[in-house]
Each structure stands twice: as structure tokens, then as C-alpha cells.
Structure 1
Amino acid sequence: MSDWSLWGMFLVIGLGTFAMRLSFVELYGRLRIPPLLSRALVYVPASVLSALVLPAVVYPNGHGAFVFDNPQIPAAIIAAWVAWKTRNTILTLIAGMGAVWLIKFLVA
């Protein structure tokens, strides 16, 4: 691939990305979102966060198989319980990381 075609591809992809992001900003107030879709969009951040966190918890270090001696799974359960009971982000982080460190210390 020549340098000019590579730079052209970068330019087209960059303009396409910019256009997609700009369309959401520009069309935000002009379009009517149906109430059903609006209620469904409330759950998008939580589902995206789950999709990012769950594979890292279940498959540590990029392993392709589930391992039973993974300390992150019980720590994630403890952190989820703390988050559910307290609704405090900092306390959830402290509980989750403390549980991981404690389980690793006890196992090692």
C-alpha cells in the first residue's frame, strides 16, 4: 500500500468518525426519541460497563478458559454486594481491591 493511499484511508476514516460523532451532537435536540427507546437508553452505561468488566474478572490475564482458583470472582461478588448495599463507589472499590488482596494473601 502506498503512502498516499494510506494517508487517504486515514483521512476518510477520520472524517467518517467525526461525522458520526457530530451527527449525535447536532441532531440531539431536533429528533424526538420514542419513550420506549428513551427508557431503554438509561441502561446502556451499566451494560457497557458490565461488558468491559466481566471478561476481565472471569478470564484474568487473557486466559481463554475459566479457572476455579481465580480470586477476582469472589472479590467481584463482595464488591457487587457492597455496591448494592451502600451505593458508594469509593467503598465499593476499597472492598473489591481489599478482597482481592486478602484472598491472594491467604492463598499464597
Structure 2
Amino acid sequence: MEIRWEVFLMIVGASIVTLIPRVLPLVLLSRIQIPEWGMRWLNFVPVAVMAALIGQELLVQDGKLSFGAEVIAALPAVAAAVLTRSLLATVIVGMLAMMALRFFL
């Protein structure tokens, strides 16, 4: 099997480009002490990212703002999440709500 050097160099280059954003912050942040307010701020990043992903999936259909069955099914799922703080319960309630909406509508 012949190795084409341009393909090999592209794989190595893509690996380096992928590795730098993952390793560089780890190396830099391991050497400094982040203040308490910075750590509190960083705790909200995963929640904000998840809210942005879910909000876009629920509210945007074909590039336009839409309030469809997904938004209605999300309401009991959010209530289950707040009440139980269980991912499994949230997913099950959301799936059942969506199934019921599709069955009846």
C-alpha cells in the first residue's frame, strides 16, 4: 500500500490543529490561580451552552422562529427537570409528552 504524503501531511496538520485548542488552555490554566469569581462564572458555561443548543432546536424551524409541538412538549420536561433533578426522568417525561402530542395532534 502506497502512502501519499499530501494525505499524511493533511492528517498530521488536522491533528495538530485539533490538539492545540484542547491542550493549550489546559497547560496555561494549570499554571495560574483563577479567582473565585472566575470559577463561579465558569460554572455557568455548560448550562449556557446547553440552553443555547436546546433553545435553537426548539424555537427555530427552517431558519424561522416557530412555536410548535416541541415547545409544548418541553414544558413538562422542564417541570420534571426542576422537580426531580433527574436526567432520566426529564428524558422520559419529554418523550412521553412528545408522543402524546403527536398521537393527539
TM over 0.5: yes
Other-structure match for 2:69:
71
Q: Residues of 1 paired with 2:85 and 2:74: CA distance?
A: 15
Q: Percent identity?
A: 28
Question: How much has 1:12 moved relative to structure 2?
Answer: 3.9
Matched, 1:27 2:25: no
AA in 1 matched with 2:43: V
Q: Distance in 2 between matches of 1:25 and 1:66?
A: 38
- The one-letter code matched in structure 1 to 2:79 is W
Alignment equivalent of 2:85, drawn from 70, 79, 87: 87
Letter matched to residue 29 of structure 1? S
Deviation, structure 1 residue 74: 1.0
Q: Distance in 2 between matches of 1:88 and 1:21?
A: 30
Unmatched 5+ residue regions in structure 2?
Answer: none
Matched with 1:97 is 95
Amino acid at match of 1:14: S
CA distance in 2, matches of 1:103, 1:5: 53
Residue 10 of structure 1: CA displacement?
Answer: 5.7
Summarize deviations over 1:61-104 as a string: whole Å, max 9, x none: xx122334x11001111111110011111011000111011011
Aligned length: 102
In the other structure, the counterpart of 1:54 is: 55
Task: Give, in whole Å, the separation in 2 of the partners of 1:31 and 1:66.
Answer: 43
Distance change >3 Å, CA 19–CA 71, structure 1 → 2 = same
Between the aligned partners of 1:66 and 1:28, the Cα distance in structure 2 is 39
Runs of 4+ in structure 1 over 6 Å off: 3-7
CA RMSD of aligned residues (A): 2.2
Residue segments in structure 1 that go unaligned for 5+ positions in a row: none
